[in-house]
Chains A and B, each alone.
Chain A
Amino acid sequence: MSTLLNPKFGKYGGQFVPETLMPALIELEEAFVAARADGEFQKEFNRLLATFVGRPTPLTYAKRLSEKLGGAQIYLKREDLAHTGAHKINNALGQALLVKRMGKKRVIAETGAGQHGVASATAAALLGLECVVYMGAVDIARQEPNVFRMRLLGADVRPVNSGTKTLKDAINEAIRDWVTNVRDTHYLLGSALGPHPYPTMVREFQSVIGTEAREQILLEVGRLPDAVVACVGGGSNAIGIFSGFVDDAQVELIGVEAGGGGIESGKHAARFGDSSKGRVGVIHGTRTYVLQDEDGQIAETHSVSAGLDYAAVGPEHALLRDSERAFYTSATDAEALSAFQMLCHAEGIIPALESSHALAEVVKRAPQMRPDEILLVNVSGRGDKDLNTIMQKMDEE
């Protein structure tokens, strides 16, 4: 049995799933490879990205933020302006088109912040597919508007009460559904993780972010940025924007993990940032860095942003980190909230809490750069969904 595409990223990645699912992964890879080579599929995908998602999303020069921080010139890739409010729709549409091609009628998805759930529900509505979204009970409580959105779009949102009741448990439950209904169901996985071919496929559907951003910055400034910053949960928005610059050795790539209450507090989701708990392991079908205890049990994570609150990172990021092509750091809840407010005030943009982690790194880094240097940051989503959380946090202070 061999795969059509390389299932690994160095020593990371792979297909660690029950035998029942292997045939579905093989079928999916075949469909993906065929679709990628099919001009008609690409044309349809690009048509939907333009006419439904509203791509290309703009590149915005953050003039006041740049002046305020007094260093690098900051440019924002505006995935918050994509239909449904985040980059997730790119991948959801790509996979939903594949589902039509495979002739399946039902999609299931997991969601943390609810953005991927909304994107999946949207793509399913557009293409006439049945959609079930698994969401941890804790996340349902903190992302209520998105739960309602999904239901409005016709999706069946199922609360997950097992384990930590967050994203990882939602993925477990989605996989259990998939194992049971694999013959007519596609698992519309929302990030660049899970078993092959997901990490590769999701990157390809998200690579439109990097492709556009590269063209846009060249057009606007006439040169490449010095650094590209993105938040990393599973890592799909980051791998999407990085893919546009990974071959440009002079462009520094920076991924920002959720530092939660600080690495030393133990309450975080910094897989790379915590060398005692973040070790190479296997979870949800892939080999990568995983937060775990000494016995190999997956650790509980914490982040103010549901979308980054996950114990593992996409396997390609693990390789980019080992090869030192990308650099990974973290931002705490407090730093993210402060950067959130700064962008609201300075630029009139309400970013998602996930994206605010990337902005927190910009706040740290920009002042140390020269005014002729360029910092490009991916604003992966908008913050409307987070207003409840932020109101609570502001009340606490």
Chain B
Amino acid sequence: MKNRIEEAFKNKPIFMPYFPLGYPDLQTSVDVIEALAKNGADLIEVGLSFSDPLADGPVIQQATQTALEKGITVKKALAALKELRARGVNIPLILMGYYNPMLAYGLEDFVRDAAQAGADGFIVPDLPIEEADEFESVIGDLPLIRMVAPTSSPERMEKIAREAKGFIYLVSVTGITGERKSIAEGLSDLIASVREHTDVPVCVGFGIGSPEQAREVGKIADGVIVGTACVRAVGSAQSPVEAARRFAAEFKDGLTRGR
């Protein structure tokens, strides 16, 4: 099997939206993710819901809470992932979720079932490098995407970046998920220091809310991660699928215009 992540980064910068399975309900979320994939998304972070999402702002908190109320489980999410592959979604799909539901599922079972369902990697925001061994020991070839924050010291940055696989998730702001009015100052310095230690792509997330901001960040990063704005646009729409199509097209256009 070819490496979908490497394929995706052949045309940089890439557009990477986040959307949680199960919101506003399971079937709609599958349709939404398919629509994102077929209208410009180069990689999708597929969200797994958790009752206590401590790194997320109110928009994603509410969406994942709704998903849980509507009955989403890890098992159902993996089945939905399989359905997406069956529908011909061929871009990389990275599962993003907190650690406890993965532990409760059984780590080895989770990784195996996720790989079989078509996942290309994992993002676990409450798993810093200090605690990553347990997960990485069962993960095989799939990458656990490492995160770098503006608060990371140069030593930590080096340690995180040196063994990174897939891509680096650079958190652009000190804070939780959610759009910001302006993109953090010093972002290009931050990206440059990460690049000193790794050849994997560096993608920026947290706080990017508009196609214009995406274009700005896309000038200096290999990928632009958009979570809250995507969830907000789709969640508030009369037709979520139509909104997803438009959202993906606008951001992709914003990112690639003039290139």
Interface residues of A (CB under 8 A from B): 1, 3, 7, 14-24, 162-163, 168-169, 171-172, 175-176, 179-183, 279-285, 290, 292, 294-298
Contacts and interface: CB of A to CB of B under 8 A. Distances in A.
Given A163-B65, A295-B74, A297-B68, A18 B101 contact: no
Contacts of A285: 126
A22 B149 CA distance: 9
B68 A182 contact: no
A281 B151 contact: no
B52 A284 contact: yes
11 contacts: A16-B127, A18-B147, A19-B156, A20-B175, A22-B151, A24-B151, A172-B54, A176-B176, A179-B176, A282-B100, A295-B101
Contacts of A290: 100
Given A295-B73, A297-B50, A20 B174 contact: yes
A23 B129 CA distance: 12
Interface in B160-202: 160, 171, 174-176
Interface string B148-163: 1111110110011000
Contact of B54 (A15, A175, A181): A175
Contacts of B127: 16
Contacts of A283: 52, 100
Interface stretch (B4-12, B102-110, B238-246): B102-110
A179 B126 contact: no
Nearest to A15: B130
Nearest to A14: B131
Contacts of B52: 163, 168-169, 172, 283-284, 298
B116 interface: no
Interface of B: 50-58, 61, 65, 68, 73-75, 99-105, 125-131, 147-153, 155-156, 159-160, 171, 174-176
A195 B194 CA distance: 26
Most A Cβ at <10 Å: residue of B55, B68, B102, B155: B55
A295 B128 contact: no
B9 to A, nearest CB: 22
B74 A18 contact: no
Most A Cβ at <10 Å: residue of B54, B101, B126, B159: B54
A17 B61 contact: no
B156 A23 contact: yes
Contacts of B75: 295
Contacts of A24: 151
A280 B147 CA distance: 25
Contact of B156 (A1, A176, A280, A297): A1
B103 A281 contact: yes
Given A18-B147, A20-B171, A23-B156, A282 B54 contact: no
Nearest to B160: A19
A181 B151 CA distance: 11
Contact of B128 (A15, A179, A280): A15
B51 A298 contact: yes
Contact of B174 (A17, A180, A281, A297): A180
Contacts of B100: 281-283, 290, 292, 296, 298
Given A176-B54, A179-B174, A183-B151, A17 B126 contact: yes
B170 to A, nearest CB: 10
A169 B61 CA distance: 12
Given A281-B103, A297-B101, A180 B175 contact: yes
Nearest to B176: A176
Nearest to A16: B126
Given A1-B130, A18-B126, 19 more contacts: A3-B130, A15-B130, A15-B131, A16-B99, A16-B131, A19-B151, A20-B150, A23-B149, A176-B55, A176-B176, A179-B55, A181-B174, A182-B174, A280-B103, A284-B54, A295-B101, A296-B50, A297-B51, A298-B100
A264 to B, nearest CB: 23
A290 B176 CA distance: 24
A284 B54 CA distance: 8
Most B Cβ at <10 Å: residue of A17, A24, A284: A17
Contacts of B58: 162
B172 to A, nearest CB: 11
